[in-house]
Amino acid sequence: MADHYEVLGVARDASPDEIKKAYRRLARELHPDVNPSPEASERFKLVTHAYDVLSDPQQRQQYDLGPQAGFEGAGFNGFGDIFDTFFGGGAAGQQRGPRSRRERGQDALLRVEVDLDEVIFGAHRDLEVDTAVVCETCGGSCCQPGTSPVTCDICHGTGSIQRTVRSLLGNMMTSSPCGTCRGYGTVIATPCVTCQGQGRVRARRTVPVDIPAGVDTGLRLQMPGSGEAGPAGGPNGDLYLEIKVRHHDVFSRDGDDLLCTLTVSMADAVLGTHATVKALDGDIDVEIKAGVQSADVLTVKGRGITHLRGSGRGDLRVGVQVVTPTKLDRKERELIEQFAAHHKQDTPALARFQQGLFAKLRDRFL
């Protein structure tokens, strides 16, 4: 069995962040939606299983315990099973029953891209997923229709073989999984020809997804029971959706607030005007007061992103940029010179440092 650290390509003392980064890098490379080859699919399963173990502190600690992990891999589950093996199931002499063929399916991870305007009110997607589904021919029984598993004639349905071993302490009873039925207690004499006795097949299916409003890049949504079907009709795993919000050329996001820049002519900045801003969810009338300055921020309440938790929406923050004309005709230049002549006292001069001005600029171009 491959070492989980080698599968992820990290050192045994790797931090949780290093393990997460390694998994994400490999998942982007090997995910079936990106690399549909059978080899990549098998490696993706190994990578996902390795990450599931190493990302959980308790499972990672148990995995790092080499001797104990070795006992468990051989069919022991701690000291209790050791005593069960040598003393025939403890003082009461009880035997373990056969293990079930039904197992829980693996979890699946998909990346879903949404536009910024869809984040405001949420979105719906019908995702095509390549996954394991229950075999329609056998319904997950693993057997050809009309047949059923038969009791193993070696272990007689117990799933284990007991033997008497002579030791220094006397005769001891040992127990090991039955090699014929592999511990299931039953044998599938006539496997389903469609699924080859697995109870599931690979297929594409459509998963309807309602993406809530307010999501952001990196957020993972869990859909219980929407992952891969388990072997022999076992329960489905979970489906995780990793959200990525596409870049928008006009609007950016700061938490649940939307940010944009509004260019204003010098004349409109002096005299004041009204402007129509084409927001993501409809037009907004913005009042530009006379004397507005570059880097001033106009706030429109409740026209930002819907809060993911709770009610209400963030704000729309509009940063003003006053545009100075660079090309003037003769008449325009004369008017500007006349205006300047009446404001000779307004010559450029140093003024008191304004921390707020730079904060507004930073927020506007975030």
Helix (H, G, I), strand (E, B) or coil at 339: helix
Token pair in block for residue 166: 């002579």
Is 142 annotated to bind a ligand? Reply is: no
- In a 10 Å sphere around its CB, with 0-12 CB exposed, 13-18 middle and 19+ buried, how is residue 130 labelled? middle
Q: Is residue 220 within 8 Å of residue 241, measured between CB atoms? A: yes
**Whole-number Cα distances in Å, 140 to 22, 101, 130:** 35, 10, 18
Number of C-beta neighbours around residue 152 at 10 A: 20
Output the six-digit token pair for 341: 């002549």
143 annotated as a binding-site residue: no
Rounded Cα distance between 225 and 104, Å, is 10
C-alpha separations of 334 from 264, 293, 337, 338 in Å: 22, 24, 5, 6
Helix (H) or strand (E) holding 234: none
Element (H, E) at 163: strand 160-167
Phi–psi pair at 161, nearest 5 degrees: -115, 130
195 is in an annotated binding site: yes
Cβ neighbours of residue 146 under 8 Å, at least 6 residues apart?
Answer: none
**260 marked as part of a ligand binding site:** no
178 in a labelled binding site: yes
**Phi/psi of residue 132, each to 5°?**
-90, 130
Annotated binding site: 135, 138, 152, 155, 178, 181, 192, 195
Annotated binding site for Zn(2+): 135, 138, 152, 155, 178, 181, 192, 195
